[in-house]
Amino acid sequence: MEIIGRGFKQLMQESPMYFHMGLKYAGYKLFNKKSPFFASADIINVCNLHCKHCYWWLNRKENEELTVEQWKKVIDEKFKKQHVFIVFLVGGEPMMRPEVVELFVNEFPKRVCVVTNGTFPLPKFKNLYFYWVSIDGTQKIHDDIRGKDTWEQTRKNVINYVETNGKKASKDIWISMTINSLNYKTVKDVMEEWRDYTHKFGIQFHTPFMKDDPLWLPFGKERNRLVDELIEMRQNGYKDYLSNPQNQLELMKGSWGGKGTTPIDCPTWAIVSVDHMGREKMPCCIGSADKDSMKPRCGECGLGCYSFLVGYGIKGSGMISN
């Protein structure tokens, strides 16, 4: 028996965690008590790429970083105290700090997802949950967004990981595609190209930080058609591969999170997100700890992690719309 990639023994070992999750969910449903289920940490403030669509570069400032010992303190004080279930490691490029990844994986066995551009070799961490490898189109379009030869480098690293670590190793690799106006016609092809080497494929939509961002795929005909195609694929053989549930995909046709730059239905509280210095980011994982920084546009948001929760009825930021 396996549930969410976990065997019976592991499920038993983790039972206290499920108890906390159950309490959190009941607390939210019965008393509107908001306690985070997940966490995200920007473990590095450096990246080897400068992708066209990337929010992280928009607010990037200082160069300092936390040591492994300082991250351990953040883990204890921010994440463990709040009994978060899954932790997403982001950045910058998290694989440029494998020693911090190692720390998180040891502290949260089988509960850490590393979101990576895949251009560095992917080590086999014994207790990693999985790598979320970002792929933003077929080769030419991916390279146009992410930089020359990046597709080839990532492809090589993924295939190498699977071939070196055995067929089962493809379970450790999930693909994440951020859909925008440049790549939306390639989604089906990307799925086909990566299916043999990877376990799941998840999509989200580009979230703009400025009005009339040309990378944002507008609500309307083309976006609806793509979402409907994905829903149809789920119903015809891709249910086990495409990780987005149907209710989430439906939401992604339009505005589900908020208005202007204010979250309304978006459950910002459900994911505690810290930046490279361990400071809490607002309003969400793509925001910033600096209140004067550029803000994401909630009204046009396409982020996967929050819309997934809204799709399951976990919603309400607790903030007042302006």
- For ligand SAM, the closer of residues 40 and 317 by Cβ is 40
| φ and ψ at residue 204, rounded to 5 degrees | -145, 170
- For ligand SF4, the closer of residues 90 and 231 by Cβ is 90
- For ligand SAM, the closer of residues 217 and 231 by Cβ is 217
Do residues 170 and 199 make contact, with C-beta atoms less than 8 angstroms apart?
yes
50 touches which of ligand SF4, ligand SAM, none (CB within 5 to 8 A by kind)?
ligand SF4
Q: Amino acid identity, residue 195?
A: R
Q: Does 90 bind ligand SAM (CB under 6 A)?
A: yes
- Report which residue's Cβ sits closest to ligand SF4: 257
Q: In the window 113-152, what residues touch ligand SF4 (CB under 6 A)? A: 117, 146
- For ligand SAM, the closer of residues 112 and 115 by Cβ is 115
| φ and ψ at residue 40, rounded to 5 degrees | -135, 145
Mention every residue, 6+ apart, whose C-beta is less than 8 A from residue 204.
Answer: 176, 177, 178, 179, 252, 302, 303, 304, 305, 307
258 touches which of ligand SAM, ligand SF4, none (CB within 5 to 8 A by kind)?
ligand SF4
- What the block records as the tokens of 241 is 């591969």
> How deeply is 34 buried, as exposed, middle or buried, from its count of CB atoms within 10 A (0-12, 13-18, 19+)?
middle
Q: Does 266 bind ligand SF4 (CB under 6 A)?
A: yes
176 touches which of ligand SF4, ligand SAM, none (CB within 5 to 8 A by kind)?
ligand SAM
- Round to whole Å and give the CA distance between 216 and 205: 8
Lay out the site mask for ligand SAM across 160-179 (x = CB under 6 A, - = otherwise).
Answer: ----------------x-x-
- Round to whole Å and give the CA distance between 64 and 74: 16
Quick one: which H or E segment has residue 137? none
Q: Does 180 bind ligand SF4 (CB under 6 A)?
A: no
For residue 201, the 8-state DSSP code is E
Binding site for ligand SAM (CB under 6 A): 47, 53-56, 90-91, 93, 115-117, 134, 176, 178, 204, 206-207, 303
Binding site for ligand SF4 (CB under 6 A): 47, 49-51, 54, 56-57, 91-93, 117, 146, 207, 257-258, 263, 266, 268, 283-284, 286, 296, 298, 301, 303, 306
